[in-house]
Amino acid sequence: MLSIRINFMTPLLTLSPTSVALWLLLFLGNAIADRVNDFRSEKYAHGFEGAFPLQHYSSAGVSGPILNYWEKSVACDDGLYTIITPRGEAVRHSGPMILDNQGHLVWFKEYETTYNANVYTYKGQRYLTFWAGDDQIRGHGEGILYMLNSSYEEAYKLHGVNGVAADLHEFHITRDETAVFTVYDIKSVDLTSSGGLENGWIYDGIFQEIDIETNELLFQWRASEHFSFSEVERGSEGTGESAEDPWDWFHINSIDKDEKGNFLISSRYLNCIAYIDGVTGDVIWKLGGKESSFTDLSAGAATNISWQHHARFQPQYDTTKTTKAISIFDNSSRGKGAPENTSRGLIVDINETNMTVAVRAQYWNQVPISSQSQGSMQVLENGHVLLGYGYSAAWTEFGADGEVLCEVNFGPRELFERGDIISYRTFKQKWVGIPLTAPDVALSGTAAAVSWIGATEVATWVLQGSYVNVTDSPESKDQDGIHRYSSGHVADDDFQFISAVPKTGFETKILIPADIPYRTLRVMALDGTGGFLGKTRAMEWAPEEMNEEIGVFAGDEELKESNSKEHRISPLIMFGMGFMSAAAIVLCAWLICKYVYFRSPGQTFIGRRNHGKDEGWQPVQTGEELDDLDDFSDLESGERHEDHLLDGNRNRVE
């Protein structure tokens, strides 16, 4: 079946039901995607699949996580991208990571230890923002704030002003399009009020607000000028007796700014969030801690916050001028020897007229997670709430009324307390990625594997062939036996359509018909309307020599030629391809049901239900094709690499 050669125009001209059905079967039969994520896998949960289960791809020197869904609902399928920053003992390469709505890798790049990745709109453009740097400085960090544009280029690199380094705990772009971030500054102070030395030392909690264009300081606030050391709830960590051993008394870990120009900050060690005057720096009120300004109308539940993170204004809930809604990720656990309470998401309503506070909503995970540290709470546009469990490798999406819709683990549940794999915060955001690179492709004797790291707009991959030889022969053959090509230009007019498959997951594999007469192959990426996005290199096609090894043709770093010849491809053809991929996706379900349920076995597709575990049907090829694909597996079954986010051989960063 797969050896049937197709004239590209035929199905466009003769759309009989049989030919459409045949085409859809071919499309689906030609595409094999990433490994399906787990669902309630006990093996995964107990750590038998590694501390940080990863999958590898044939075409790209990057690895993607394997997720274990503990809860899964279509209610979470909103087309948003999930942004995490894996780091920890089991993570060899830290960096910002983007996953699609089905948990497939979209983009990862290694940076220094990375925290706080998110997406913000700044001057009308979306940016991927994060902190990266040294996080090994006694519970805080010194690093740089990055803003990547939608081509993943570093559009802005911001840093602390006046000789201090930006800390990892917060990087937020305010409503005023300024950047705010935390700083831990060593300062000499009198600690006699808290039983310390007269000439004591602290890590003071500072935040800076800067202009993003100029990195100029607009506002700075210092905790020791507004809070007393006696308000600290946590015993002294660091004796405070020398500049080498300062006392981390305040531990500032979040900053937000409202439309009045005032700030909301969180102090982890005071168990308190505070509203700060944006002009004078004065504390307007405190919520939680020893000197809470509020009457708790919820019998303590609105003010008993502890070791909390990520306090944010939620103005969409502010019904009157006298109320203010605030969301908090509440750690609620005080560590070894103290009660370990389940972490919760919390929204409180503050009434500033008579200084009352009440719980609006609480979000508890079904299976309790007690997060040692870190964590985030994001209220999505549709009212859903996303909790990132920080130290525990999980995020949970709740419905607005608190029911768990999805719980996703990216590390074994049993090892949550070990911090092997951590994401400081977790966000879901809209994102459009238009990389400046070309798609990556790998060839075996029977298939092409294609991926394009960071590209969000690819809907269809089109395999094309040419009778013309690639002008350049392989330049080198590495010790790993991989052919590397520096270029390979065959005129665009020489290429003919072989097949088109919908993009599925990070890497899509396209089966190559056995007896195609072409000497050169390439793969084109088309968007949802059939528009050209990019193309792989032209690759020499010599299946008889390729059976054992995979030629890897990495996408280059050059800019795409904006006036390349693909733009001359007829709009009709483009539309046809886009239409047919869309039709393939819509109709394949119908076809599979029909073929699997109502026909005898032995068809191209074998329906396989994973006892309600997976999302649905798996396309599986019959015997012959499976054998051919065996040498092509992207998942080293049995020995998952726990820590190779980047494939060390191909892309080692020194």
Ligand X SMILES: *[C@@H]1O[C@H](CO)[C@@H](O)[C@H](O)[C@H]1NC(C)=O
Residue 126, interface with ligand X (CB under 6 A)?
no
The smaller minimum CB distance to ligand X, of residues 136 and 151, is found at 151
* Residue reference for tokens 């690179």: 437
Task: Please state, as a whole number, how many other Cβ atoms lie within 10 Å of the Cβ of residue 513.
Answer: 19
Output the six-digit token pair for 449.
Answer: 């594997």
The smaller minimum CB distance to ligand X, of residues 59 and 129, is found at 129
x/- string (CB under 6 A) for ligand X, residues 432-461? Answer: --x---------------------------
What's the closest the beta carbon of residue 331 comes to ligand X, in angstroms?
Answer: 4
Containing 82, the helix (H) or strand (E) segment is strand 81-84
With CA atoms as reference, report the closest residue to 603 among 595, 593, 591, 612.
595
**Interacting positions 501-520 with ligand X (CB under 6 A):** 519
CA distance 508 to 638: 22
What's the closest the beta carbon of residue 364 comes to ligand X, in angstroms?
Answer: 8
Residue 20, interface with ligand X (CB under 6 A)?
no
Part in contact with ligand X (CB under 6 A); list of ranges 4-12, 319-327, 421-429, 478-486: 319-327
With CA atoms as reference, report the closest residue to 27 among 529, 633, 584.
584
Containing 42, the helix (H) or strand (E) segment is helix 42-45
Residue 323, interface with ligand X (CB under 6 A)?
yes
CA distance 522 to 510: 11
CA distance 613 to 73: 12
Go through the chain and tell me how many residues it has: 654
- 3-class SS at 186? strand
The smaller minimum CB distance to ligand X, of residues 335 and 601, is found at 335
Among 73, 469, 622, 651, binds ligand X (CB under 6 A): 469
- 3-class SS at 175? coil
**Which residues, 6 or more positions from 319, have their beta carbon under 8 angstroms from its beta carbon?**
none
With CA atoms as reference, report the closest residue to 25 among 419, 561, 402, 589.
589
Helices (H) and strands (E) in the chain, counts: 7, 43
Part in contact with ligand X (CB under 6 A); list of ranges 9-17, 26-34, 332-340, 642-650: 332-340
What's the closest the beta carbon of residue 342 comes to ligand X, in angstroms?
Answer: 7
Residue 331, interface with ligand X (CB under 6 A)?
yes
Residue 101, interface with ligand X (CB under 6 A)?
no
Part in contact with ligand X (CB under 6 A); list of ranges 17-25, 353-361, 440-448, 616-624: 353-361
**Interacting positions 134-193 with ligand X (CB under 6 A):** 149-151, 153, 155
Part in contact with ligand X (CB under 6 A); list of ranges 296-304, 503-511, 531-539, 608-616: 296-304
Among 130, 294, 307, 518, binds ligand X (CB under 6 A): 307
Phi-psi sector, 630: left (phi>0), alpha (psi -120 to 50), beta: alpha
Residue 367, interface with ligand X (CB under 6 A)?
no
Among 339, 383, 528, 616, binds ligand X (CB under 6 A): 339
Do the beta carbons of residue 199 and residue 157 sit within 8 Å? no
* Residue reference for tokens 């994102």: 431
Which residue's Cβ has the minimum distance to ligand X?
Answer: 335
Residue 340 DSSP code: B
End-to-end Cα separation, the chain, in angstroms: 47
What does DSSP say about strands 427-429 and 440-443: parallel, antiparallel, or unpaired?
unpaired
The smaller minimum CB distance to ligand X, of residues 40 and 334, is found at 334
Among 73, 101, 304, 603, binds ligand X (CB under 6 A): 304
What's the closest the beta carbon of residue 349 comes to ligand X, in angstroms?
Answer: 7
Part in contact with ligand X (CB under 6 A); list of ranges 25-33, 304-312, 458-466, 561-569: 304-312
Residue 77, interface with ligand X (CB under 6 A)?
no
Do the beta carbons of residue 217 and residue 161 sit within 8 Å? yes
The smaller minimum CB distance to ligand X, of residues 172 and 344, is found at 344
Residue 376, interface with ligand X (CB under 6 A)?
no
Residue 341, interface with ligand X (CB under 6 A)?
yes
Part in contact with ligand X (CB under 6 A); list of ranges 70-78, 346-354, 526-534, 584-592: 346-354
Considering Cα of 239, then 244, then 247, then 253, what sign does the dihedral take? negative
Rounded to 5°, angle at Cα 407 from 43 and 172: 125
Residue 335, interface with ligand X (CB under 6 A)?
yes
Part in contact with ligand X (CB under 6 A); list of ranges 31-39, 115-123, 216-224, 297-305: 297-305
Residue 372, interface with ligand X (CB under 6 A)?
yes
The smaller minimum CB distance to ligand X, of residues 21 and 434, is found at 434
Part in contact with ligand X (CB under 6 A); list of ranges 183-191, 300-308, 492-500, 644-652: 300-308
Do the beta carbons of residue 395 and residue 82 sit within 8 Å? yes
The smaller minimum CB distance to ligand X, of residues 59 and 194, is found at 194
Among 121, 353, 486, 564, binds ligand X (CB under 6 A): 353
Instruction: With CB under 6 A as the rule, give the number of residues binding ligand X.
Output: 32
- 3-class SS at 229? helix
Among 113, 292, 332, 376, binds ligand X (CB under 6 A): 332
**Which residues, 6 or more positions from 599, have their beta carbon under 8 angstroms from its beta carbon?**
none
Burial code (b: 16+ CB inside 10 Å, e: under 16) for 363-392 equals bbbeeebbbbbbbbbbbbeeebbbbbbbbb
Rounded to 5°, angle at Cα 321 from 317 and 327: 35
Do the beta carbons of residue 416 and residue 391 sit within 8 Å? yes
Among 10, 322, 486, 610, binds ligand X (CB under 6 A): 322
The smaller minimum CB distance to ligand X, of residues 389 and 605, is found at 389
The smaller minimum CB distance to ligand X, of residues 16 and 319, is found at 319
| Residues of the shown chain interacting with ligand X in the complex, contacts defined by CB under 6 A | 149-151, 153, 155, 300-301, 304, 306-307, 319-320, 322-323, 331-335, 339-341, 351, 353-354, 356, 370, 372-373, 434, 469, 519
